[in-house]
């Protein structure tokens, strides 16, 4: 089945096919930096994802040699009389809801980091559920290089995942982290050789599109929610999720397929 977005976009490419929604940041001349227009188009595409039944996975990636260089600094240049832009407003209206949406939407969000990911671009990638990067990609908390602080969730995710020492090193120096090191530090799922990247990404999203959607969604909810719960609360949540999944058709199909030694056909129910 091929469902194309019925809206036309200027700054992104968007397509839903065979249960896979593909959203490509498409401002390669600016390393896919975010303008207001791009935020609005990404938001509209995510609305489409959530309104398209049977979408099983969302893939984010970038066109050209970069993934995303964060905020477009062309939108922030000022003539001498211009008042400063209120960056808090920009974050409240655009970056914060985007991170909240990516982390909370029930379907899995895969980020294919095809090149440099800087500023909010790095932290948008790190907010995705599974991050796969080309070996030549770099992750840069470049905010400090222009006099800002890491945003888009960077100061939350980095210390939790890589520890305070590395989080502070990254956020205070604005230094570049290779994809291999990001993988070794547990920031991303995989770093793969550039010539295997596209094939690996396709295999991953195809696998997720065929996976039992309710179980995948439950895994996302449980793992993402664990930071705010005690072990006892988490054990209760696992019980409740498992109880629900135990009544699902996909579980019945999974067990039947295992016993019949055949590939299961999951329907997300």
Rule CB under 6 A: which residues touch ligand T3D? 30-31, 33, 69-74, 76, 87, 90-91, 95, 116, 118-120, 140, 142-143, 145-146, 148, 151
CB of residue 125 vs ligand T3D: minimum separation in angstroms?
A: 12
**DSSP per-residue letters across the chain:** -EEE-SS--SSEEEEEETTEEEEEE--GGGTTPBPHHHHHHHHHHHHHHHHSTT--EEEEEESTTEEE-SB-GGGG---TTPPPP-HHHHIIIIIHHHHHHHHHSSS-EEEEE-SEEETHHHHHHHTSSEEEEETT-EEE-GGGGGT----TTHHHHHHHHH-HHHHHHHHHH--EEEHHHHHHTTSSSEEE-GGGHHHHHHHHHHHHHHS-HHHHHHHHHHHHHGGGS-HHHHHHHHHHHHHHHHTSHHHHHHHHHHHHTS-------
In the complex, least distance from residue 14 CB atom to ligand T3D, rounded to whole angstroms? 22
> Of 91 and 219, which CB lies nearer to ligand T3D in the complex structure?
91
Nearer of residues 76 and 269 to ligand T3D, judged by Cβ: 76
Find the shortest distance in angstroms from Cβ 52 to ligand T3D.
29
Q: Which is nearer to ligand T3D, 71 or 134 (CB)?
A: 71
CB of 31 to ligand T3D, least distance (A): 4
Instruction: Give me the residue whose beta carbon is nearest to ligand T3D.
Output: 70
Chain Cα centroid distance, residue 153: 12
CB atoms within 10 A of CB 48: 18
Phi, psi for 219 (deg, rounded to 5): -60, -45
Find the shortest distance in angstroms from Cβ 95 to ligand T3D: 6
Question: Nearer to ligand T3D by C-beta: 48 or 191?
Answer: 191
Cβ 33 to ligand T3D, closest distance in Å?
A: 4
* Cβ closest to ligand T3D, residue 54 vs residue 92: 92
Between 12 and 120, whose beta carbon lies closer to ligand T3D?
120
């Amino acid at each position: 089945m091929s469902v194309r977005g019925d809206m036309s976009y200027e700054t992104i490419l968007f397509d839903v096919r065979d249960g896979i929604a593909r959203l490509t940041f498409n401002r390669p001349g600016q390393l896919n930096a975010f303008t207001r227009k791009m935020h609005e188009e990404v938001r509209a595409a995510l609305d489409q994802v959530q309104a398209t039944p049977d979408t099983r996975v969302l893939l984010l990636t970038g066109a050209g040699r970069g993934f995303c260089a964060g905020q477009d600094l062309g939108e922030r240049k000022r003539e001498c009389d211009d008042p400063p832009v209120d960056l808090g407003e920009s974050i409240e209206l655009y970056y914060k809801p985007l991170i909240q949406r990516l982390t909370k939407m029930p379907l899995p969000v895969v980020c294919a980091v095809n090149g440099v990911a800087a500023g909010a671009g790095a932290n948008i990638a790190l907010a995705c559920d599974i991050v796969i990067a080309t070996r030549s990609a770099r992750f840069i908390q470049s905010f400090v290089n222009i006099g800002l602080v890491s945003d888009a969730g960077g100061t939350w995710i980095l210390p939790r995942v890589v520890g305070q020492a590395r989080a502070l090193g990254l956020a205070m120096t604005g230094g570049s982290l290779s994809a291999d090191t990001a993988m070794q530090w547990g920031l991303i799922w995989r770093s793969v050789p550039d010539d295997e990247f596209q094939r690996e990404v396709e295999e991953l999203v195809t696998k997720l599109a065929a996976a039992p959607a309710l179980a995948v969604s439950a895994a996302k909810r449980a793992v993402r929610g664990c930071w705010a719960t005690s072990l006892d609360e988490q054990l209760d949540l696992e019980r409740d999720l498992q109880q629900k999944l135990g009544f699902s058709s996909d579980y019945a199909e999974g067990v039947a397929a295992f016993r019949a030694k055949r590939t299961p056909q999951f329907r997300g129910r």
